[in-house]
Structure 1
Amino acid sequence: MQVDAIVLAGDREGRALLPVGSRPMILWVLEALQYSGCIRRLVVSGPQELTAVLPAGVTLVPAGKTAVESALNGAALFPDAEWLLLVTADIPLLKPEAVQDFLERCRRRRADFYYPIVSRERNEASYPGVKRTYVRLRDGIFTGGNMVLIRAAILPDCARKSQELVRLRKSPLALSRLAGLGFIIKFLTRRLTIAEAEKEFSRLLGARGAAIISPHPEIGIDVDKESDLQLARRVLGSGPATCSTKK
């Protein structure tokens, strides 16, 4: 499966340029994408400072004020794209086979957008002690990944609706009005299934969504705190800290 990819590197703390091993963090992500053999074209949405480190063939577009705006800026470069793979720039442990596996699992299901999730069991077996935010569902305990595969034609509309969900994420009352009280109660009592979550988010976003259980925890290990950075450096090599890892 060949797709076009947009790497989101617009955070204000400059994490994409944090040194991990012998190179800036974003280069590990770009390498995994390029070596996967699944990426047709590649664009980075981020600050101008990235120009000095991006490899040949990778285009830079300005970051937006939000991740959604950055994704739209990148998508504008590929008006003929059928599928877009949105990837954050802060997952340096990402491997080519994780990208390949995710896209292959997406190919087996019919949907408009796909989101990877990783079980806590898989995370802790591969990286003991790694700290992630988990959600307990009836199917198991999962953390989210840091990429989304989406049909290019629906990105603008889904982006607008997802921004509203993000805006309301700290208001349980507002969210319950959108998702319904029954959905919220099921979630809080840990009786919600993956299939039920897929159905509700598909309704809210106006497009069919699918959660893809990935066996590759590297998809979900983003560098958003010091312990994450130290883990990445233990695995990939060390380097002096130059930027904050706070979001």
Structure 2
Amino acid sequence: MQQWTAIILAGQRPGENAFAASHNVTAKALIPVAGEPMLGRVAATLLRCPEIGRIVVLAQEPDALLAGALGWMAAEPRIATARAGDGISTSIAAVAGSEAAPWPVLVVTADHALLTPGMVAEIIASAGDSDAAVALVERRVVEAAYPETRRTWLRFSDGDYSGANLFALGGPAAQKALALWSRVEKDRKKAVRLLFYFGPMLALRAITRTISLDAAVAKVARRVGLSVKPVRLSIAEAAIDVDKPADLALVERILAARRA
């Protein structure tokens, strides 16, 4: 089996300090979920995945995160750290494909507290030989299980989709996808504004729901000259990360139900 490098995004964005401080920790990635820092939960899950050969924690001060309750991560030979720069995508681009993080690369966020080996296996298996693959979950799947959760939805003719914070990067060609991401990441939570980066006609067709997800992704991929695959995950929890207190409460309930 080909071994992947998992890059965990564990940096701080503006506005997240207050969320972390409300839980008496210095970084959002350290907020405890079911008694364990989120970052530790994600790392432990990835270590259980046979597809993952090594892990890189990417953050502004990554070594400071791997202390105290997460000291075990600093001692784990399959886990390394890398310092993030000003932007998410440029920081990934700087480490992806390096000796520390050889291709192929799976990008996941530290706040994906519900991550499971099944989700990892599903996106890696579905990515195939594409240059890049992005995991999404259809709204019907999410709301059938968790109607109370609020997500950012991208609307297309074949349904509404939420990102699952999982990105498979197959090789050096994926650097083009990261360059594109660097231009749009500041509007990642504003679906309509995000679509305008790819041209007014594509945005109009998406707004009027006259184009499918696959067709829209194919148009974007042709524009940047690489193969991109949208992967529809079948697991509702894949769309739920911890961005706010309501998310944290929901994740705690889900994990309590799993334990029961």
Q: Same fold by TM (over 0.5)?
A: yes
- The alignment status of 1:164 with 2:179, answered yes or no, reads no
**CA deviations over 1:28-63 (Å, ceiling 9, x no partner):** 111221112110111111223212115212111112
**For residues 160 and 106 of structure 1, do their structure 2 counterparts lie closer, same or farther at Cα, with a shift above 3 Å needed?**
closer
Matched with 2:64 is 49
**Structure 1 segments (4+ residues) deviating >6 Å:** 168-175
TM-score of the aligned structures, taking structure 1 as reference length: 0.85
Amino acid at match of 1:59: A
TM-score of the aligned structures, taking structure 2 as reference length: 0.81
* Cα-Cα RMSD: 2.5
- The alignment status of 1:90 with 2:116, answered yes or no, reads no
Matched with 2:50 is 37
- The alignment status of 1:152 with 2:171, answered yes or no, reads yes
In structure 2, how many angstroms separate the alpha carbons of the residues matched to 1:72 and 1:90?
A: 20
Q: Quick check: 211-220 or 148-157, which moved more?
A: 148-157
Residue among 216, 238, 243 paired with 1:219: 238
5+ residue gaps, structure 1, are 238-247
In structure 2, how many angstroms separate the alpha carbons of the residues matched to 1:228 and 1:16?
A: 14
Amino acid at match of 1:95: T
**For residues 179 and 70 of structure 1, do their structure 2 counterparts lie closer, same or farther at Cα, with a shift above 3 Å needed?**
closer
Aligned partners of 1:7 and 1:44 also within 8 Å: yes
Residue among 25, 28, 31 paired with 2:38: 25
- The alignment status of 1:61 with 2:62, answered yes or no, reads no
Amino acid at match of 2:44: E
**For residues 66 and 216 of structure 1, do their structure 2 counterparts lie closer, same or farther at Cα, with a shift above 3 Å needed?**
same
**CA deviations over 1:11-41 (Å, ceiling 9, x no partner):** 1432110011121011111122111211011
Amino acid at match of 2:181: S
Question: How do 1:63-142 and structure 2 match up within 5 A?
Answer: 63-75=84-96, 77-78=98-99, 81-107=102-128, 110-142=129-161
In structure 2, how many angstroms separate the alpha carbons of the residues matched to 1:120 and 1:127?
A: 10
Question: How do 1:163-182 and structure 2 match up within 5 A?
Answer: 163-166=182-185, 176=196, 179-182=198-201
**For residues 123 and 21 of structure 1, do their structure 2 counterparts lie closer, same or farther at Cα, with a shift above 3 Å needed?**
same
Matched with 1:7 is 8
**CA deviations over 1:46-101 (Å, ceiling 9, x no partner):** 22321211521211111222211331343264368231101111110111111112
Task: State the 1:218 CA deviation.
Answer: 2.4
Q: Quick check: 82-91 or 43-52, which moved more?
A: 43-52
Task: State the 1:180 CA deviation.
Answer: 3.2
Aligned partners of 1:10 and 1:70 also within 8 Å: no
Q: Aligned residues: percent identity?
A: 29
**Structure 1 counterpart SS, 2:120:** helix
Amino acid at match of 2:64: E
